[in-house]
């Protein structure tokens, strides 16, 4: 759904979707992290992921402060599947929060970046023996039990004591896309019904695994707080423990029509419910992912072709190879030309990608100010789930990641080369 060019029903500007502190300079250039986006595009090429590191650190601090002020015995853990980038892990380590990993690759990157192993939570519904062995060897703080096979594997690997949590199904179905709802009965994640009691009993009798508590996660891109209250209440029914991992799921603002709860409102909802239903002595963990990183990132493209008609198309040099959220989750985005923000009179186009799929349509009905070949298009709020799901469809080379802030920039992931596409051939 398109808003009036340049403003939504509340009069907001597309500038509001870019990282906090972004601006437009006297020549109409969009400036992020103290740098013109057109200049970053010239330096690093397109497509390119850009992360405003200052905005990212500010968002981390907001989550950390909100939790510690309401529940001092708590830990924010970045759900790193949203942005598994070594430089991103290093930011989390430097900011003093934990990290949640869902596989051996994420664990390896987190350790390489200097994340304290004691602040790493390992989860996943199909953890292999190799991945569990890596976690045990690294002495991670918590491993989340998702099934009885996890217990079998861990008991064969652990020789001293490994703290664990049991992931439970709270039976809560939030209003979000089916593909990213995870807390309802029938979910592939966690244990449900009598299986929870069986797992708890078995772990309490284990001489190698130490049951610290329970874990839940109800989904992603959740735009209301009520499901979180319901989920905490459901979690309490599984008994009293030392640790409760409440997961993440707070939605991000992708378009000017979105109005997700604030970080403070989300934390207040969780803590208010914890104060009512959970033991006061317990440690609370939360795992924000999307909301922690989405709004500090953006993607730069270059216009390759403009077709005027019904509809009119603007085709760029990226697409579903660097942003699968549209195809997988029907996630809406907005965009602008980096040096000509739209006006109320700007024409409307479908922004499409270069890949050989009719579904490679990044935005349907976006106002762009007279686009021409060579223009730089900036799509905000791509800091989550774009880099992590980038792919080589049609032989596309995965884009670089550029960190910027305070007028400085640095590449943290290089662009793939054609040689990289051949590197694994035998």
DSSP string, 353-365: -SSS-TT-EEEEE
Give one DSSP letter per residue of 303-318, joined into a string. EEEEE-SSS-EEEES-
Domain with 409, as residue range(s), is: 14-52+294-422
Return the CATH number at 217. Answer: 3.20.20.10
Burial of 394 (0-12, 13-18, 19+ CB in 10 A): middle
Res 7: pLDDT:
52
* Angle between helices 263-277 and 226-236 in degrees, nearest 10: 30
Alpha-carbon distance of 83 to 258, in angstroms, equals 22
Strands 283-286 and 336-337: unpaired
Domain boundary among 286, 320, 348: 286
Domain-embedded: residue 415: yes
Q: Are residue 342 and residue 411 in the same domain, yes or no? A: yes
Reported pTM? 0.94
Which H or E element spans position 132? helix 129-138
Residue ending a domain, choose from 286, 320, 355: 286
* 278 and 300 within one domain: no
* Residue 9 is assigned to a structural domain of this protein: no
User: Would you say 48 and 400 are in contact if contact means Cβ atoms under 8 Å apart?
Assistant: yes
Residue pair 150/132 in contact by the 8 Å Cβ criterion:
yes
pLDDT value at position 182? 82
Q: In what order do the strands lie in the sheet with 35-36?
A: 23-24, 30-32, 35-36
Neighbours of 132 (CB within 10 A): 22
CATH number (domain holding residue 30): 2.40.37.10
38/183 same-domain check: no
Distance from C-alpha of 407 to C-alpha of 34, rounded to nearest angstrom: 4
Whether residue 326 is contained in a domain is answered as yes
Q: What CA–CA distances, in Å, run from 389 to 81, 321, 384, 398?
A: 9, 8, 9, 10
Same domain, 273 and 316: no
Residues 279 and 303 in one domain: no
What is the rounded CA–CA span in Å between residue 360 and residue 241?
Answer: 47
- 294 contacts 256 by C-beta, under 8 angstroms: no
Residue 328: which residues within 8 A CB-CB, separation 6 or more?
179, 389
Give the domain-ending residue among 286, 302, 320. Answer: 286
Q: Is residue 271 within a helix (H) or strand (E), and if so which, with residue range? A: helix 263-277
Active-site residue set = 356
Q: Is residue 401 part of a domain?
A: yes
Do 311 and 256 belong together in one domain? no
Are residue 181 and residue 149 in the same domain, yes or no? Answer: yes
Residues 63, 92: Cα–Cα separation, whole Å? 12
Asked if 149 and 271 sit in the same domain, the reply is yes
Cβ-contact 14, 380 below 8 angstroms: yes
Looking at 151-242, which runs of residues are DSSP E strands?
A: 162-167, 209-215
Same domain flag for 306 and 371: yes
- Digit-by-digit pLDDT tens for the chain (426 residues) are 333 334 544 447 999 999 999 999 999 999 999 999 999 999 999 999 999 999 999 999 999 999 999 999 999 999 999 999 999 999 999 999 999 999 999 999 999 999 999 999 999 999 999 999 999 999 999 999 999 999 999 999 998 899 999 999 988 888 888 887 787 888 888 899 899 999 999 999 999 999 999 999 988 899 999 999 999 999 999 999 999 999 999 999 999 999 999 999 999 999 999 999 999 999 999 999 999 999 999 999 999 999 999 999 999 999 999 999 999 999 999 999 999 999 999 999 999 999 999 999 999 999 999 999 999 999 999 999 999 999 999 999 999 999 999 999 999 999 999 999 999 999
């Amino acid at each position: 759904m398109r808003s009036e060019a340049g403003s939504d029903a509340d009069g907001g500007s597309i500038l509001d979707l870019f990282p906090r502190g972004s601006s437009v300079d006297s020549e109409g250039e969009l400036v992020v992290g103290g740098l013109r986006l057109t200049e970053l595009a010239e330096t690093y090429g397109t497509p390119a992921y850009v992360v405003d590191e200052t905005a990212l650190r500010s968002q981390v601090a907001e989550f950390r402060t909100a939790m510690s002020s309401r529940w001092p015995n708590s830990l924010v853990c970045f759900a790193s599947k949203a942005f598994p980038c070594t430089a991103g892990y290093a930011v989390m380590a430097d900011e003093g929060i934990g990290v949640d990993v869902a596989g051996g690759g994420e664990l390896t990157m987190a350790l390489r970046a200097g994340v304290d192993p004691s602040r790493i939570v390992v989860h996943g519904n199909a953890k292999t023996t190799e991945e569990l062995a890596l976690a045990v060897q690294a002495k991670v703080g918590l491993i989340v039990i998702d099934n009885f096979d996890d217990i079998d594997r861990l008991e064969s690997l652990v020789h001293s004591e490994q703290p664990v949590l049991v992931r439970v199904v709270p039976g809560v179905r939030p209003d979000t896309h089916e593909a990213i709802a995870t807390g309802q009965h029938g979910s592939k994640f966690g244990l449900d019904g009598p299986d929870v009691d069986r797992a708890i009993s078995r772990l309490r009798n284990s001489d190698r695994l130490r049951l610290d508590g329970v874990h839940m996660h109800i989904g992603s891109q959740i735009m209301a707080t009520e499901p979180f209250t319901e989920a905490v209440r459901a979690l309490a029914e599984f008994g009293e423990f030392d640790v409760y991992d409440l997961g993440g799921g707070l939605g991000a603002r992708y378009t000017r029509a979105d109005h997700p709860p604030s970080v403070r409102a989300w934390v207040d909802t969780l803590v208010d419910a914890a104060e009512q239903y959970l033991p006061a002595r317990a440690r609370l963990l939360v795992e924000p992912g999307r909301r922690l990183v989405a709004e500090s990132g953006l993607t730069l493209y270059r216009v390759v072709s403009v077709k005027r008609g019904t509809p009119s198309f603007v085709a760029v040099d990226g697409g579903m190879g660097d942003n699968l959220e549209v195809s997988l989750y029907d996630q809406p985005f907005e965009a602008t030309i980096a040096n000509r923000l739209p006006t109320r009179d700007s024409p409307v186009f479908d922004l499409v990608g270069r890949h050989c799929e009719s579904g490679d349509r990044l935005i349907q009905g976006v106002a762009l100010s007279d686009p021409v070949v060579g223009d730089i298009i900036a799509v905000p709020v791509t800091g989550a789930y774009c880099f992590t799901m980038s792919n080589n469809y049609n032989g596309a080379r995965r884009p670089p990641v550029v960190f910027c802030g305070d007028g400085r920039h640095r590449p943290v992931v290089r662009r793939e080369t054609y040689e990289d596409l051949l590197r694994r051939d035998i």
